[in-house]
Amino acid sequence: MKLNKNNSKKFKKGIYLLPNILTTTALFAGFYAIILAMDNHFSSAAIAILVAMIFDGLDGRVARLTNTQSDFGAEFDSLSDMVSFGIAPSLVVYKWALTGMGNIGWVVAFLYTACAALRLARFNVKVGVIDKKFFQGLASPAAAAVLVALVWSGEELGFKGQQLDILALITTATLGGLMVSSFPYYSFKDLGSVKTVPFVVLLAIILVFALTTIDPPKIILFCFLLYALSGPLLTLWRKIRTKPKRYKKGEKNNEN
């Protein structure tokens, strides 16, 4: 089957080198994390997934800054996310803590992977429709960060995975549920679109970086765990702030 010349030209113009190199680097880091976990290097595997997060965040911003967005890049980024933040974290936590739990261990690990796939598919079909300031459901990179930071913190504290298997199981299942939930999560995308930010925001960013250098695994776990909880907390806060129904003039309140 021969390609139409116009389609061929369009396809060639749709591939840009720089953002796709960054996406490939994120994909490589996610794949390498799986290799490290197979060799029981769990801390290194966790770091590799966090590195994948950095490059995943860079590729989209670089594409927007250089005006090199493309349909190909968007699809490639989604597939890379599935490997780095869907498959890799579940395999790392399974190898670290869930192997001794029998069928329930691998089933929960699979459910996490399936939820990540569903989350990415929902995001792809709703892109351009939903509010860009908020994600619907916990983003897969953030969920992966909580999971691997737990693994990394456990390793740093001298725990074996089997000692924290119940905690790992509950965390994995909960993160999977948050990814496919409808809870709103602030996307931080609008921060890059403004020329200035409040001084307090800049101070907070500096503080986070400073604290992270002191104890990376625990600070990363704390920050992303707080972010994972922000969705349900924001929903609860909105419900509390919802004003009671006001009756128009002339209407009677049936409850009286």
Tens digit of each residue's pLDDT (9 = 90 or more) over 1-42: 444 555 444 444 556 888 899 999 999 999 999 999 999 999
Q: What is the pTM of this model?
A: 0.84
- Structural element, H or E, at residue 168: helix 165-179
Tens digit of each residue's pLDDT (9 = 90 or more) over 103-136: 999 999 999 999 999 999 998 887 766 667 888 8
Kindly report which listed range (38-52, 153-167, 195-209) carries the lowest average pLDDT score: 195-209
- In whole angstroms, what is the distance from residue 190 CA to residue 207 CA? 21
- In whole angstroms, what is the distance from residue 221 CA to residue 211 CA? 12
Q: Per-residue confidence at 255, pLDDT binned at 50, 70, 90? A: very low
Helix/strand/coil for 184: strand
What are the boundaries of each domain within the chain? 17-239
Q: What CATH number labels 17-239?
A: 1.20.120.1760
- In whole angstroms, what is the distance from residue 141 CA to residue 150 CA? 14
